[in-house]
Amino acid sequence: MKMTIHEVAQCLNLHVRTIERWIRQGRIPIQKTGNGYLFNESALKKWAKMYRLPFSMPEKLKSRGYEERPENLLYAMKRGGVLHDLKGDDMETALKSAVEHMPVLSKTSKKELYRLLLEREHLTSTGIGKGVAIPHPREPLSDVMNSPIISTCFLEKPVDFGAVDDRPVFVLFILLSQSIKIHLHLLSRFSFCIRDNSFVEFLKTSPDETSFFAKIADFEKQLDRAET
Amino acid sequence: MRIFQSWRYPANWRIFRLDDRLLLILAAIIVGSCSGLASVILNRALMAMFNWFHHLRHYWWVFVLPATGAALSSLFLEKVVKEGAGHGVPEVIYSVSRYGGLLRFRSSFSRLISSALTIGSGGSAGPEAPVVISGAAIGSNIAKYFSLNDRQRVTLVGCGAAGAISSIFNAPIAGMVFAIEVIIGEWKSVNIVPIAIASVAGTEISRILQGNQIPFSHRIFNIHQMDILACVGLAILTAAASILLTRLLRSMDKIAKKVPAPLWIRAAIGGCAVGLIGLFLPEVLGKGYHVVQTTIEGAFSQGLIIVGLATIAKIVATALTLGWGGSGGIFAPCLVIGCLAGLTYHHALVLLWPSITWVNQGCFALLGMAGLISGMLQAPLTGIFLIVEITGGYEVILPLIIVSAVTTSVCHYMEPAAYYMKDLVEYGHLLRPGTDARVLSDLNVSELIEKDCIAVTQNMLLRDFIKIVKKSHRNYFPVEDEETGHFMGIIHLDDIRQYLFNPVMYDTVFLGQIMNTAVEVVNPDDDLADVIRKMDANHLFSMPVVVNNRFIGLISKGSLLDQYRKELMVQTCQSI
């Protein structure tokens, strides 16, 4: 592969002018000829190693950045599904039945999830007010997941969750994600939806899947517009 | 035609491109030989002039001779080649530290001619410094011819200086040590090998053309413990003499600058004064090596008072010649002054303690020379090796080291910078490799600019600004005028943090109201050391870079540390 001096500068994370000056001062094994620069890539790498300078290809950095790009709400919610009329008299039983009915997860991870959710609830309630709660484990499940899941669970009757405004909770959004970063990303997008009072009213009608997803898609569009 | 082309660009010859070190060594041989040749030429010219003017010494008007010489040399430097007066070594050091050893081609002969005029006509100065600058300029221009990089060019400049000193004194080690200790200031094998080879080449040239002779050969001395003890006293005397010489040279320079006359008239005045002194004490004229020779042989028979007077007269004559605009170096005068100081000290010792058998006066003369060279140059190694080599006297090495060390320390205490570096240190131009000043002068502002700042306008509402804050990676936001794009001021998140959490202000505050307009800005051409000084003085972490009222980017201490460290690693690590 033929490299240009600009690429060398990128690999070393330096300004092109620094490289040019180093060539002039003879500090870097690159030779200037009449119309360009002469150098050997492996010699350059060896040189960088000797002076303990970081030398890495910029392409690698870019691809890693792409992987980390977090997903949006709608897909996570579609994966998690919408559950209606879940039974339960208090927080524990409501969570238990919600976890039982969640799709995708295996039996062992359901058990683990239930335990982690309870642990989290004991720390502080995840009831964020207006009758909505977002139970989630503090750390990602030990079972490796590829993509985040949000299960929307409408309860048969409102349950006391110890929420911040002491109102009984009628809907749970169980939030599972593979990393803290994605968790925060989803949480911030979700809180944007829940801030809207008309959305809470809409939730109280315990809507069916299609109209619920349509509403979420609407919010996503608003969010994307605000970001750009 | 093609052959001609390849001759014009020797840098492209295959043999030189095989290996950089080989190329440098070959170039070092050429440079050493050329500078050796230059010193032989100057030496011959001085000898010839000495012979021409020798028979004029009997006339009373002979005192105008140094004046004519100094005036001619000053005219030549000022009008013909347009170079500054002085001895030239500081120029070489300056160019090595600032411009990677770039020197003009004309420097390779201009000082030779001007110093031949000054010294040949009787001015009290030395031929060594002019030869050093010639050799250095030859090295620099040969490096340019081979299109070498700065680092290699600096080495070749050192080679030129080493070849010159080696050749003029027939002293290869002294030349080598001088080049590394005084000119380059960096003891690394990449420098030492070519410089050593250049020293050999220079010495060999002078031996072929002038014969292998030790300049000041002497008889064998028997040194006792008492003599070694007495050396400390001598060291203090030589330190005093070198401090006197340094101060006198500088004050003469200042006085001469106040005289409202052209440069050549000033030089003539100085020369006249030297000539008048020379009427009474002819020892002070010229480079004065015959004085050194007779003293070391123990044949200088004058009494204490005459010798003491001669010492002071030589100091004054040197200051008059060089301070008033003559051209030449201080090496030779140093040797003569040191020799006379040693002689004075010996006479005083004999007078005070006649019962003790002191070593021959030649030995003290020799030690005095080492003391003065070490004191003036503040380069103890150069002093030690030079004297050992030019006198061929290894048996005096112990007292020699004592005198050199003590004189250097005392002089360093009184005058923190050596004579050659004084002006450079004063203007902050002395940048030795691997020092903070060097790293900062190599880095420049444009290499440190960070461009990932998001510009905002002054009529933007705080609410819109908060959206931008969400996306930004930085804490600084330049404010630009909407129409002209001119830089208006900067917003630092720290300054407006309390407003960010107050929703009432979102729609009532414009950025124009909260931006900081009294902000210090940086120009890309600014000296980095000044920029950092400004940052420290105002407790800033970042400063905006602004050109023609336009915001270019940000310079911050964070990226500065990153770059500074990389630069330091590349400059100081054991090199390739």
Using CA atoms, how far residue B369 sits from B203, B212, B287, in Å, is 22, 22, 14
The string of pLDDT tens digits covering residues B88-145 is 788 888 888 888 888 888 888 888 888 888 888 877 888 888 889 999 999 999 998 8
The pLDDT assigned to A189 comes to 84
Q: How many CB atoms lie within 10 A of CB B526?
A: 16
- Reduced to 3 states (helix: H, G, I; strand: E, B; else coil), residue B141 is helix
Q: B576 and A18 in contact by Cβ < 8 A?
A: no
DSSP for B217-256, please give it.
Answer: --PPP---HHHHHHHHHHHHHHHHHHHHHHHHHHHHHHHH
- Reduced to 3 states (helix: H, G, I; strand: E, B; else coil), residue B480 is strand
- Reduced to 3 states (helix: H, G, I; strand: E, B; else coil), residue B330 is coil
The list of chain A residues with pLDDT below 70 reads: 1-2, 34-35, 58-70, 144, 227-228
Q: d(Cα B482, Cα B447) in Å, to the nearest integer?
A: 28
The list of chain B residues with pLDDT below 50 reads: 1, 575-576
Q: d(Cα B391, Cα B338) in Å, to the nearest integer?
A: 14
| Interface contact B143, partner A, CB < 8 A | no
The pLDDT assigned to B87 comes to 66
B68, B537, B85: which is closest to B329 by C-alpha? B85
Among chain B residues, CA nearest to A30: B149
Four-residue CA torsion sign, B376, B381, B384, B387: negative
| Interface contact B569, partner A, CB < 8 A | yes
The pLDDT assigned to B32 comes to 93
Among chain B residues, CA nearest to A12: B566
The pLDDT assigned to A65 comes to 44
| Interface contact B559, partner A, CB < 8 A | no
The string of pLDDT tens digits covering residues B472-481 is 888 888 888 8
Among chain B residues, CA nearest to A28: B570
The pLDDT assigned to B167 comes to 92
The pLDDT assigned to B506 comes to 82
Report the relative pairing of strands B542-547 and B550-556 from DSSP bridges: antiparallel
The pLDDT assigned to A64 comes to 45
Q: B569 and A21 in contact by Cβ < 8 A?
A: no
Minimal C-alpha gap between B167 and chain A (Å): 29
Contact assessment for residue A60 and residue A137, using Cβ atoms and an 8 Å cutoff: no
ipTM of the complex: 0.76
The pLDDT assigned to B8 comes to 60
Residues pairing with A153 in the sheet: A83, A172
Contacts of B443 in chain A (CB under 8 A): 18
Q: d(Cα A95, Cα A88) in Å, to the nearest integer?
A: 8
Using CA atoms, how far residue B565 sits from B436, B510, B571, in Å, is 11, 41, 10
A159, A189, A153, A186: which is closest to A171 by C-alpha? A153
Angle at B160 between CA B156 and CA B161, to 5 degrees: 120
Minimal C-alpha gap between B149 and chain A (Å): 5
Average pLDDT, chain B: 84
| Interface contact B5, partner A, CB < 8 A | no
State phi, psi for B69 to the nearest 5 degrees.
-60, -50
